[in-house]
Structure 1
Amino acid sequence: MEGLTTEIVKRIAADTIFGKPLVTNVYRSVIVEAIVATALPDWNWCSADYASCDFIHPDGTRLEVKQSAMRQTWVTKAPSKPSWDIAARTGFWENGTDWTERAGRNADVYVLGLHDLVDDNADHRDPAQWQFFVLSEHRLPSTKRLGLATAMRLVQPVGCSDLAGAVRKALSERRFVYGTGDLQRSSAW
């Protein structure tokens, strides 16, 4: 097509995906990760296909972002029940091509985003409408999913303006174990 440029295609695609207040599950993670990236400017946003985590700090600390929304893009009889995938993995991909077997969770800190508005004001793109449960990996239960009630028992949620402080607090709570001759993080990573 004459006159069709990469910029036009990007704009049309972005408007199609993010141009409405409710964003489908497939793309909502990008919204939440963008909020986290803004709140944590010192972290490298590295999520991509086959990435082992969503953010890496210059010191090597890994952070995983999960999100859940109670109002969906499709019609439901009742609000969705929030939950997050926190399952341990059997390994991870390095550089998208090399598989490393290593059982455990893939991050030191988990940021669990919750969008709990269910009325017509719900807008997944609005950072002020999100709450975040920030947990050190060792505080997560040994389950595959974490529900809202359990998240609330483990930690109080924070808004995006308090996200950096909550991540610092979670990092300070990491457990350390003594390895052969040095101090190591208890995380498998």
Structure 2
Amino acid sequence: MTNTLRGMLVEAMIDAALPAGWTWCSADYESFDFISQDGVRLEVKQSAARQSWALEGSSPSKCSFDIAPRTGRWDGPVWIPGIGRNADLYVFAHHPVADLSADHREPVQWRFYVVSTHALPATKRISLSKLQAMLAPVVYADLAAQVEAVRCAVLSERSAALADN
């Protein structure tokens, strides 16, 4: 499966896993992939050990994810300038199967790392090994609960920041 198709597939998997109250909104000019009814923005990043172009016996692909701050974001047709990350939380999806049994369409073959944007390092990329050092992966069956836990933490951070002002 190509990288482009795999990205859409992973978003569809995550959409199916999320509880009510989340909207899949990724499109040509959206700055994030999902938004909760209380305004928490979620971005999905994905990578796989086996690539569509890999030859049999090839080494697994080294996985890393783009987390670079952006210069702004789109809100519909309006560009809003401002340096930073455009999501409040990230779901990093990794498909670790590198042999011929790899089937990117199978949610049970994926591992997910769910993290608040504020917990990410101030770098442009993050490696899979760095994520693994920071977080335990969750399986597809536990993805919704982990996203909800991080969403609640993001909302608590917002409330605390408002109280401090």
- Do these two structures clear the TM 0.5 threshold for a shared fold by scoring above it? yes
Matches within 5 A, 1:19-168: 23-42=1-20, 43-76=22-55, 77-95=58-76, 97-168=77-148
Distance in 2 (alpha carbons) for counterparts of 1:158 and 1:178: 29
Identity over the aligned pairs, expressed in percent? 48
Runs of 4+ with deviation above 6 angstroms: none
Q: Residues of 1 paired with 2:164 and 2:2: CA distance? A: 43
Secondary structure class of the residue paired with 2:149: helix
Q: Give a deviation string over 1:66-112, Cα, whole Å, max 9, x none.
A: 000010000253211111111111101121x2211021111111000
1:121-171 CA deviation, whole Å, 9 max, x = no partner?
000111111010000111001111110111011110101110111112222
CA distance in 2, matches of 1:66, 1:160: 15
Give the length in aligned residue pairs: 159
SS of the equivalent of 2:111 reads strand
How large is the Cα RMSD of the aligned pairs? 1.6
TM-score, normalising length from structure 1?
0.79
Higher Cα radius of gyration: 1
Identify unmatched segments of 5+ residues in structure 1.
1-22, 185-189
Q: Give, in whole Å, the separation in 2 of the partners of 1:50 and 1:127.
A: 27
2:114 corresponds to which letter in structure 1? V
- Aligned residue for 1:173, secondary structure, equals helix
Structure 2 unaligned spans of 5+: none
